[in-house]
């Protein structure tokens, strides 16, 4: 099974993005591929191209405004026209990623199983809204262009390096357990 974990680099006022550590640690546990992504819409669009070469893809991104982990069930065909956060309340600042296509795509990854495996030590919640920024765009393009792959997006809060490493290892072990269970 070919498995890819991605995390994002620093952006805006976030000089450290824990998603890169989480994804890299999870990939190490499974001997999977890891890719560090820049935070831009062009790379998000390319996500579907490289996701198509894998059986499963788990993207990890930063959700700085929430103190819990979010397992994203849906990617929406929406994006901010600008990266200016002051525009978030302006409906004219939102556009579709792919005009005329599905407004939302749902993951086929076993979100419930993953939550159950991780919930003992982590505050994990299901989410139906990956936002309208690069995380959502990456998720949407991956689901759209790699329909045969199981794709998931995990949002993590602002963490220290040690917290990110610990969750990355737990995420890797949990994914490993799910894949073993499903193969067996």
- Higher pLDDT residue, 47 or 4? 4
Residue 134 has a pLDDT of 92
Residue indicated by tokens 């990956």:
130
Please, what's the b/e burial string for 81-103 (b: 16 or more CB within 10 A of its CB; e: otherwise)?
eeeeeeeeeeeeeeeebeeeeee
Please state, for a pLDDT cut of 90, what percent of the chain lies above it: 71
Sign of CA dihedral 134, 140, 141, 147: positive
With a cut of 60, say whether residue 90 has pLDDT above it: no
Provide the pLDDT confidence category of residue 41 given band limits of 50, 70 and 90: confident
pLDDT tens by residue, 91-139 = 556 788 999 999 999 999 999 999 999 988 899 999 999 888 899 999 9
Structural domains of the chain in order of their starting residue, each with its CATH number: 3-183 (3.40.630.20)
Task: Tell me the pTM.
Answer: 0.91
């Amino acid at each position: 099974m070919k498995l890819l974990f991605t995390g994002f680099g620093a952006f805006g006022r976030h000089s450290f993005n824990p998603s890169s550590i989480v994804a890299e640690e999870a990939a190490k546990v499974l001997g999977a591929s890891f890719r560090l992504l820049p935070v831009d819409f062009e790379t998000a669009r390319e996500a579907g191209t490289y996701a198509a070469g894998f059986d499963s893809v788990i993207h990890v991104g930063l959700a700085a405004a929430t103190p819990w982990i979010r397992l994203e069930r849906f990617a929406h065909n929406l994006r901010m026209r600008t990266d200016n956060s002051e525009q978030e309340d302006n409906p004219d600042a939102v556009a579709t990623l792919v005009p005329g296509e599905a407004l939302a795509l749902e993951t086929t990854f076993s979100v419930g199983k993953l939550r159950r495996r991780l919930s003992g030590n982590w505050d994990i919640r299901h989410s139906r809204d990956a936002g309208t920024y690069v995380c959502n765009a990456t998720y949407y393009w991956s689901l759209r262009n790699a329909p045969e792959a199981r794709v998931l997006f995990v949002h993590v809060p602002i963490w220290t390096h040690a917290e990110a490493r610990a969750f990355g290892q737990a995420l890797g072990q949990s994914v490993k357990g799910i894949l073993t269970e499903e193969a067996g």
